[in-house]
A and B are shown apart, each in its own frame.
Chain A
Amino acid sequence: MRRQADDTAPSRDAPLILAGRVGSRRVVTAADRIAQQQGLHTGMPVSKAQALVPGLQVLPASPDDDAASLERLALWVLQRFSPIVAVDPPDGIVIDSTGADHLHGGEAAMLEALIGRLMMSGLTARAAIAETWGAAHALARHGPEPLHVAEVGTAETLLARLPLEALRLPLATLASLRTLGFACIADLLHQPRAPLTRRFGPDLCRRLDQALGYVAEPIEPLRPTELVEVRRSFAEPIAAAETIARYIGKLVVQLCAALEERGLGARRLDLLCWRVDAHVQTVRVGLAKPQRDPQRLTRLLCEKIETIAPGFGIEVLSLTAVMVESLEARQVASSLLETTAPDLSGLVDVLANRVGARGVYRMAPVASDVPERSVTRVAPLSDPVGVGWPDHWPRPARLLPWPEPIETVALLPDHPPVWVTWRGIRRKVARADGPERVFGEWWKRDAELIAVRDYFCIEDEAGERYWVFRAGDGENAGTGSHHWFLHGVFG
């Protein structure tokens, strides 16, 4: 995160810099994209920048506010993405994605989701996933692409090309390294270590080893004071599943009591297991509605015990409610006649924690004629939509994920096929209905400006009914390729 977005006074079109003090000089501490295009860079005196660019907006830099907002951002990442998040000052956030990426559909998808959400809120961000904190730090700031997922075992080759600044070294060390003729990390990798350490102190080799993963660098997770957290340390490390389950039960009761005091219910819980060898195992469970029922929370957490690798033993268990919402006791319907709808939130929580929150959904209609766009997934417990889809034409029970190309014999422009060949089986069409013309949605993409699909419902001699379409209107080649596709199977 290079800059904190100031969405108040300064206009977006004029160049903007932040001015801070180094000693007695006023220097540029940050410059936005327009300012950078006009030749301004960080570290240059403010007076020089003002002389170079007329109409420059200068705002005083406030490192304390930056740090505070960085911490707020880290907290947001903690609540939504991963249990172990820490601030990496002055301009970064470090996230341990182990055990959290599967909830977002893999590392690359998680990174894209994170950056997408940040971009929507007006932040420019670069991100990288690598094996070590040091490597990810370097790739995010100095890597070629703004988004980078490094394969396992490629850290050394990737780092070799990067400049020395990527190593998190003090400025003085960098300057003298450059004087000695070192330009990139590759130059340092195969140097004898002893003279380097004698010249620059132990820091240089430590940073190098941290980036390459030879030295451990634990992440101290961000835990703001307002989070509800309970923890338990053990005199003897524990490892058995039953023991872990028992202590989870005790922690959950404590946590629920703490939540009840504040009138809160948990939406997301993190269980951190600190092992004796300084590794942390994490378990995260989400809830569809705020809850503080110890039985239910214990059950959700205990289902995940098998994902914890206790190693040589766990010495500290800590349970945190990272996301909470207010939950007040309310009266249930007391009338004898009134029947309340059964509460499905418990079931949805269990299922969502088993298959991932994306795997549990309901379908809702979207006003679109294109079949695959006419449905969208909504949260399983969202309010009923009330309306369905238009009922003019029959719709198949199964829609193929992608339309499959078929071979046909058909009269143009608007006759249904006489024969179709799908997955190697040739079928004679006995009856057919159509065409149902679906126009492209020109407001979405230029390519759909005149695109057309003609849908037919065909039935072969055995009674199998399929939903096929021709891309194009059968006359004008601009409306589609005039190839035929099978899109669905009727019941």
Chain B
Amino acid sequence: MSARSSTPAIAALRQQIAAMEGDGGRSRGALPFGLPDLDRRLPGGGLALGCLHEVAGGGNGAVDGAAAACFAAGIAARLPGQVLWCVTQADLFAPGLEQAGLGPDRVIYVEAGDDVSVLACMEEGLRHGGLGAVVADVARLSMTASRRLHLAAKGSGTTGIALRRWRRQQDASDFGQPTAAMTRWRVSVLPSAALPVPGVGRPRWLIELIRARAGESFDLELEACDGTGHLGLPAAVADRSVAAAGGRHGAFA
């Protein structure tokens, strides 16, 4: 992929497409995850800033949204500035978010009554421009709403994360509907890293990039955010040779 982006013809085409999309070719840059395996596969070498991104949990995570919240907190923690977190039910546990890197002084919570006002508050936060990131727990996200949010994020350069979380497991099929978000992630929990003694090791996630504009989707097993919001590469994968690791994702290696 790195070879592809260096071709001048492709770069020129990309600029043309960006001009057609209306962002004037102006890019806000990207936030690298600090993992070459992950960053290499993302357009721009990281999570595009000043855009809307979607994150959902897999399995039971679609309802409790715990792993997705940690993933979003890890991203927000590595962006400078205050973070606005819009929720409908106030069940986020601040000490847990702090362990994902997002300290209590950096998060302003907004508890709105319903999904519509959550989206309105999120848009308000994205338009303001003084925030580092805006995260919102939303269930339904229509194309129109996501387009509004995406444009608001583009206008001010604030990164928005729509944390998709549903009341019931059945409603999670909504995640297949198209939205204007730049990327769409699904974070599912995996059994934690094995320890030589009884106990629970560092949590592991299966991180799936389901959709990315100007990029290809992939999935990757990673270790959960540490105290600074950085994801980790599992030891077993880190020690393997490139050829062995590429068995599953050979097309991208």
With both chains docked as a complex, state the minimum distance between the C-beta of A457 and any C-beta of chain B, in angstroms.
5
Residues in chain A near residue B191, CB distance under 8 A: 430-431, 459, 461-463
Does the CB pair B125–A347 fall under 8 Å? yes
Q: Is B198 interfacial (CB 8 A cutoff)?
A: yes
Give the CA-CA distance A371 to B73 in the complex, in Å.
20
Q: Which of A369-412 contact B (CB under 8 A)?
A: 371, 374-375, 380, 384-386, 388-389, 391, 394-401
Does the CB pair A396–B93 fall under 8 Å? yes
8 Å CB contact of A351 from B90, B110, B189, B200: B110
Q: Is B108 interfacial (CB 8 A cutoff)?
A: yes
A398-B92, A457-B200 as given contacts; A463 in contact with B81, CB under 8 Å: no
Q: What is the 8 Å Cβ interface bit string for chain B, positions 92-126, against chain A (1 contact, 0 not)?
A: 11111111100111011111110001001100110
Residues in chain B near residue A388, CB distance under 8 A: 95, 98, 103-104
Does the CB pair A397–B192 fall under 8 Å? no
Q: Is B234 interfacial (CB 8 A cutoff)?
A: no
Does the CB pair B104–A364 fall under 8 Å? yes
From B20-28, B42-50, B127-135, the one touching the partner chain is B127-135
Q: Which residue of chain A has the shortest Cβ distance to B189 in the bound complex?
A: A463
8 Å CB contact of A344 from B70, B108, B120, B204: B108
Does the CB pair B111–A359 fall under 8 Å? yes
Does the CB pair B131–A342 fall under 8 Å? yes
Q: Is A147 interfacial (CB 8 A cutoff)?
A: no
Does the CB pair B69–A491 fall under 8 Å? yes
Does the CB pair A488–B93 fall under 8 Å? yes
Residues in chain B near residue A464, CB distance under 8 A: 59-60, 189
Q: Which residue of chain A has the shortest Cβ distance to B201 in the bound complex?
A: A431
Q: Which residue of chain B has the shortest Cβ distance to A379 in the bound complex?
A: B108
With both chains docked as a complex, state the minimum distance between the C-beta of A295 and any C-beta of chain B, in angstroms.
14
Residues in chain A near residue B224, CB distance under 8 A: 491
Classify the interface of chain B: helix, strand, loop or mixed: mixed
Q: Which residue of chain B has the shortest Cβ distance to A425 in the bound complex?
A: B60
With both chains docked as a complex, state the minimum distance between the C-beta of A365 and any C-beta of chain B, in angstroms.
6
Does the CB pair B117–A346 fall under 8 Å? no
A344-B131, A389-B95, A462-B191 as given contacts; A491 in contact with B100, CB under 8 Å: yes
Q: Is A6 interfacial (CB 8 A cutoff)?
A: no
Give the CA-CA distance A143 to B129 in the complex, in Å.
54
Does the CB pair A375–B94 fall under 8 Å? yes
Residues in chain B near residue A457, CB distance under 8 A: 200
Q: Is A419 interfacial (CB 8 A cutoff)?
A: no
Give the CA-CA distance A370 to B78 in the complex, in Å.
29
Does the CB pair B108–A491 fall under 8 Å? no
Residues in chain A near residue B125, CB distance under 8 A: 347, 351
With both chains docked as a complex, state the minimum distance between the C-beta of B213 and any C-beta of chain A, in angstroms.
26
Give the CA-CA distance A464 to B191 in the complex, in Å.
7
Give the CA-CA distance A462 to B91 in the complex, in Å.
23
Q: Which residue of chain A has the shortest Cβ distance to B57 in the bound complex?
A: A491
Q: Which residue of chain B has the shortest Cβ distance to A394 in the bound complex?
A: B99
Give the CA-CA distance A369 to B227 in the complex, in Å.
21
Does the CB pair A361–B108 fall under 8 Å? yes
8 Å CB contact of A463 from B89, B130, B190: B190
Does the CB pair A491–B96 fall under 8 Å? yes
Q: Is A207 interfacial (CB 8 A cutoff)?
A: no
Q: Is A348 interfacial (CB 8 A cutoff)?
A: yes
Residues in chain B near residue A65, CB distance under 8 A: none
Residues in chain A near residue B32, CB distance under 8 A: none
With both chains docked as a complex, state the minimum distance between the C-beta of B99 and any C-beta of chain A, in angstroms.
6
Does the CB pair A398–B69 fall under 8 Å? yes
With both chains docked as a complex, state the minimum distance between the C-beta of B197 and any C-beta of chain A, in angstroms.
10
Q: What is the 8 Å Cβ interface bit string for chain A, positions 1-14, against chain B (1 contact, 0 not)?
A: 00000000000000
Does the CB pair A431–B192 fall under 8 Å? yes
Does the CB pair A399–B91 fall under 8 Å? yes
Does the CB pair B130–A397 fall under 8 Å? no
Give the CA-CA distance A360 to B100 in the complex, in Å.
22
With both chains docked as a complex, state the minimum distance between the C-beta of A419 and any C-beta of chain B, in angstroms.
17
8 Å CB contact of A389 from B98, B117, B129, B190: B98
Give the CA-CA distance A391 to B96 in the complex, in Å.
10
A391-B99, A491-B70, A491-B71 as given contacts; A380 in contact with B108, CB under 8 Å: yes
Does the CB pair A465–B130 fall under 8 Å? no
With both chains docked as a complex, state the minimum distance between the C-beta of A397 and any C-beta of chain B, in angstroms.
4
With both chains docked as a complex, state the minimum distance between the C-beta of B55 and any C-beta of chain A, in angstroms.
11
Of the candidates B95, B97, B120, B201, the one having the most CB atoms from chain A within 10 angstroms of its own CB is B95
Does the CB pair B108–A355 fall under 8 Å? no
Of the candidates B100, B104, B111, B129, the one having the most CB atoms from chain A within 10 angstroms of its own CB is B104
Q: Which of B47-85 contact A (CB under 8 A)?
A: 59-60, 64-71, 73, 81-82, 84
Does the CB pair B108–A348 fall under 8 Å? yes
Does the CB pair B227–A385 fall under 8 Å? no
With both chains docked as a complex, state the minimum distance between the C-beta of A467 and any C-beta of chain B, in angstroms.
9
Does the CB pair A342–B129 fall under 8 Å? yes
Q: What is the 8 Å Cβ interface bit string for chain B, positions 125-160, against chain A (1 contact, 0 not)?
A: 100111100000000000000000000000000000
Residues in chain B near residue A358, CB distance under 8 A: 111
Q: Which of A476-491 contact B (CB under 8 A)?
A: 488-491
8 Å CB contact of A355 from B68, B100, B112, B131: B112
8 Å CB contact of A395 from B93, B104, B112: B93
Residues in chain B near residue A396, CB distance under 8 A: 66, 93, 96
Q: Which residue of chain B has the shortest Cβ distance to A381 in the bound complex?
A: B108
Residues in chain B near residue A399, CB distance under 8 A: 91-93, 96
Does the CB pair B93–A354 fall under 8 Å? no
Residues in chain A near residue B95, CB distance under 8 A: 365, 371, 374-375, 388-389, 395
21 A-B residue contacts at CB 8 Å?
Answer: A342-B129, A347-B128, A371-B93, A374-B95, A375-B94, A380-B108, A385-B105, A388-B95, A396-B93, A397-B93, A398-B66, A398-B96, A399-B91, A401-B91, A430-B191, A431-B199, A431-B200, A463-B204, A464-B59, A491-B66, A491-B69
Q: Lowest 5 A-B CB distances belong to which pairs?
A: A342-B130, A491-B70, A363-B94, A399-B93, A384-B105
B interface residues, Cβ below 8 angstroms from A? 59-60, 64-71, 73, 81-82, 84, 89-100, 103-105, 107-113, 117, 120-121, 124-125, 128-131, 189-192, 198-201, 203-204, 224, 227
A interface residues, Cβ below 8 angstroms from B? 342-344, 346-348, 350-351, 354-355, 358-365, 371, 374-375, 380, 384-386, 388-389, 391, 394-401, 430-433, 457-459, 461-465, 488-491
Sample of 7 more A-B contacts, CB < 8 Å, known A360-B110, A398-B66, A432-B200: A350-B124, A355-B112, A385-B104, A389-B98, A397-B69, A465-B192, A491-B224
